[in-house]
Each structure stands twice: as structure tokens, then as C-alpha cells.
Structure 1
Amino acid sequence: MQEMNLMPMLLLIGIVVLVVYIFSRYIIVIRQQECVIIERLGKFHTILNSGLNILIPFVDQSRQILWSRNGVITNVDRIDMREVVIDIPEQKVITKDNVGIIVDAIIYVQITDVKRAAYEIQSLPWAVAQLTQTTLRSLVGEMDLDHTLSSRDTINSRLKMVLDEATDKWGLKVNRVELKNVSPPPDVQMAMEKQMQAERERRANVLAAEGSKQSQILNAEGEKRSRIEHSEGEKQEKINQALGDKEAMIARAFGQAKAIEDVAAAQAKAIEFVKEAFGSSDVAANYLIAMEYLKRFGEMTQKNTDKVFIPYEATSVLSSIGAIGDILNKVSQDPSKITHLKK
């Protein structure tokens, strides 16, 4: 009797377990940005999107693929449609100039076609990683070490283009590729550091030489400008002195001309007075000549010498003196003429 009473209870428990199992496996709630591939009797049937989805028990099954979940590559049945990061392991690559370097990278990918990602390629992340490594070896092998170290952007863009084209048939979109590390061997790195140090010292020496050269040029230009200014100053000083001398000479010449003019005017006035006094121009001329001879003769006799030489022309002076005597006799007879002579 007790065994017969347990049978319905066990049956009820089995039904409850079956219902729970069916609900857990065939009634699916899918979150946003996720999807599930459904196969019906082993054949692709549909893709379930976000929301509540009900499957046919024991007929519909979800398909698992190898994909990233929380940064870990694992088998998942809920495929994340967001952009994910795949870390490419480091590898040794030989450059064009036969230098072995260690490189690694990361790629940002996103599934655009879930069906092709599940059925066109096996182990999608592993295939992408292997394709990235082989393409990276090919690209770096075309460059020498210096070009590789200075052309990361070029390598990234070329690698992205190749990967995006190759993975398109897998329903995958490569959004970005970044080289993380490019590490040359220790001996090469040491040589590069020595080279950079030597280059820095060379640049410092070049800058010092350029500075010295520029300083010498500026000093030479300053000295040249100073000499030019000094020469201009001396030239201006000489010009000013010459102008002063010229003005002084002109002033002296005007003074001498004025003096000569005044003397000539005085002599002309004297001749007029003599002529008016004696009433004859001949007598006036003899008077003036006699007076000049007497003046010169007086200068000759004033020298401190024992002998005095009288020139032959002195006889004309004596005759002039006689003429002067006649003139004085005439003047004495006319007192008004004496007043004119005194003037």
C-alpha cells in the first residue's frame, strides 16, 4: 500500500521537474544586444533576438559558438553583438634588415552576421588571432627596424584593411587595430640608446656652433655699424668744419672787399678834395705821388743800418717835393683850400 501511495508522488515530482526543465531550456529571455542561434533537428532554423522566446521542446536547440564573454574566450549560446576586444599574443617578427623584434596587438571586432559567424568559420576568435599574426609578420617583414618603430599608424591601418577584407565573409567587422608593444632585442635597444645619445650630443654641438656663429656675426655687424657711425660722425664733423671755414673765408673776403672799397672810396674822396683844392687834376696826381714816395722813403730811412741806399727813382721824389712847395705857396694864398686838405 505504501508503495502504491509513493508512485503518484514520484510521478508528480517527475512532472514538476520536467516542467521546470522545459521552462528553463525552451522558454528563453534574451537580453538587449544578445542573440541565440536556434537549430531545429540539427538544421539552422532562426535567430532569436532580445525579449521572451518560446522553443519547441526536444526539437529546437540553441547552437553554441566560441566567442568572448566578459573578456574570456569560451563556448557561448548567447552571442554578444557588441564590440569586443581580442588580445593577440606577442610573437617574434623579423624585419627587413634582419632584426628580430617582439610585437603584440589588440583588435576591436564586432559580429555583424551571426549565422555566418557560426557556420562559415570554426573557432572564430582563434582564426582572427592567427590571421592577425600572419598578416603582422608579413607587414613588418617589408619594413626595416627604424621604419617599423616610427610607422605604427601605417601598420595599424594596413593591418585593419587586410583583416576587415578577410573576415567579411565570416560576418565579422574589424573596427580598429592597435599595436601594443614593439620591443627590439636588448643589444639592439642598447645600440639605439647610444645612437640617440650621440645624436643628442651632435645636435647640442651643432646648436652651440650655430649660437657661436650667430654671436660672431652679430658682433661683426655691431662693430661694422659702430665704424660706419664713427666714420659718418667724422665726415659730418669735417663737413661742418669745412662749412665753418668757408663761411669764415667768405666773411674775411667780404671784410677785405669792404675795406678795399672803403680805402678806394677814401682815396677817391681825397683825390676829389685835392683836385678841388688845386683846381687841376695833374697837380692833384703829382701831390698824391709825392706823398706816397715820401711815405716809402721814410720807411726806408727808419731801418737800423749804417747805410741807406736811395734808388735812382728818388730824383723824381725831389721834383715832387718841389711841386709840393709850389702847391703849398698856392694854398697859402687861398686859406679855404687848406681846410679842404685837412679834411
Structure 2
Amino acid sequence: MFASMLAAGFGTLGYLMIAILVVVIFLVSRIRIVPQAKVYIVERLGAFHGEWGTGPHFLVPFLDKVARIVSIKEQVVDFKPQPVITKDNVTMQIDTVVFFQITDAKQYTYGIEHPMAAIENLTATTLRNIIGELELDATLTSRDVINTKITALLDQATDPWGIKVNRVELKNILPPREIQDAMEKQMKAERER
């Protein structure tokens, strides 16, 4: 009789130990360690709760969730060539490289739906506006001026999204084939003189 009572006591104690172990494992699984150069955006019951920086943090079970993990390193995006028209009606292809950094993870998460698409479209329209004010020769010789103008305009436009545009570079400027041929013939003629 004593043995059956002892076995029943160990059974209850065993179940209690298993329950405690499950709870401990569950709580440990809610610990998040945020790595360097990352920011976690945490929502509590679907609303913004906070930004977590580098180090260990605890998600409250059933209430908190990591909504987004944001890298705060400088990033580089190479956009495909865009057709642009100069002031003297020459259509050329220009591709750009944008260097940017996220400065406000909350604004980046909640400020705009698709930030990369927004930066690409904003770069294309800004490039078209700037090149549309220049003639072909000025476009080919003033990359630095164009880069500076685009960088300033993009940085101002992306500021409400928590994005800092550090630099924009024109990677390639490709005029139409016939204009490239004419330029090459002109250079040859000047060299032969």
C-alpha cells in the first residue's frame, strides 16, 4: 500500500517537473539576442511597442512579436538603366547606384510600404528631371553636378521614411548608337589634324 502511494506521489511530482521544464523551455525560447548593426521592431498586440538595439531582450508571450528586423548598415542598390531625354531631345540610358543607410527603424517600417521600390522610382524621376534641364554635352561632362543634385533631392525626400541617402553615382551614361558613332568619328578627325 505504501509503495502504491509512493509511486502515485512520484507520478504527480514527475508531471509537475515536466510541466516546469516545458514552461522554462517556452520562456527561454522567447529570449531574443539582437546582433550588432540590427534593430528589431517589436509590436505588442499589433501596435508599435519599441525598437530593440544590440543585446538580449525578452518577448512577452502571446503579446509581443518581432514585426521587422532592420539592418542599419550602409546599403548599396544598383538600379537598372533608365531612359532619359535631354533638353536637346536625345534619349539615352543612364543607370545609377544609390548608397543609403536606415537612420530611423520605426519610420522605415511604418513610413512607407515598399521602400526599395520607392527609392528606385524616386531616383528615376529625379534623374529625368535633372537630365531634362541639361543638353547632351553637359550631361556627359557634369556627372559630379548631377550626382550632387540627385543625392540632395533624394536625401530630402527619403528623410520622412527614416532613410539617409549618402551618395548617388551615375554608373553608365549611354547615348544612342548613332551619337556614339558620330562622337567617335569627331574624335578621330581631331586626332588626325
Given the two structures, how large is their TM-score scaled by the length of structure 1?
A: 0.49
With a CA cutoff of 8 Å and minimum separation of 6, indicate the structure with the bigger relative contact order: 2
Check if 1:53 corresponds to 2:57. yes
* Number of the residue aligned with 1:149: 140
Deviation at 1:194, TM superposition (A): 0.5
* Number of the residue aligned with 1:174: 165
Which of the residues 83, 91, 97 maps onto 2:82? 91
Check if 1:32 corresponds to 2:23. no
* Number of the residue aligned with 2:129: 138
Secondary structure of the residue that 2:61 maps to in structure 1?
coil
Check if 1:159 corresponds to 2:143. no
Distance 2:192 2:145 in 1: 30
Change (3 A) 1:14 1:150: farther
Deviations 1:162-206 (A, max 9, x none): 00111111111111110101011111111110111122233xxxx
Change (3 A) 1:120 1:198: same
Distance 1:59 1:28 in 2: 15
Letter of the aligned partner of 1:55 in structure 2?
L
Distance 1:174 1:100 in 2: 27
RMSD: 2.2
Aligned pairs for 1:275-286 (under 5 A) are none
Change (3 A) 1:22 1:193: farther
* Number of the residue aligned with 1:119: 110
* Number of the residue aligned with 1:23: 28
Larger radius of gyration: 1
Number of residue pairs aligned between Structure 1 and Structure 2 = 180
Distance 2:23 2:111 in 1: 35
Change (3 A) 1:199 1:53: same
Deviation at 1:17, TM superposition (A): 7.0
Distance 2:140 2:45 in 1: 54
Which of the residues 156, 180, 185 maps onto 2:176? 185
Deviation at 1:97, TM superposition (A): 1.2
Percent identity reads 48
Distance 2:84 2:23 in 1: 57
User: Which 4+ residue blocks in structure 1 deviate beyond 4 angstroms?
Assistant: 12-22
Distance 1:129 1:135 in 2: 10
Secondary structure of the residue that 2:79 maps to in structure 1?
strand
Secondary structure of the residue that 1:159 maps to in structure 2?
helix
Runs of 5+ in structure 2 lacking a partner? Answer: 1-13
Runs of 5+ in structure 1 lacking a partner? Answer: 1-8, 65-77, 203-343
More helix by share: 1
Please say which of residues 172-181 and 87-96 is displaced more in the overlay: 87-96
Deviation at 1:15, TM superposition (A): 8.2
Deviations 1:259-314 (A, max 9, x none): xxxxxxxxxxxxxxxxxxxxxxxxxxxxxxxxxxxxxxxxxxxxxxxxxxxxxxxx
Letter of the aligned partner of 2:61 in structure 1?
P
Distance 1:176 1:56 in 2: 40
Deviation at 1:90, TM superposition (A): 1.1
More strand by share: 2
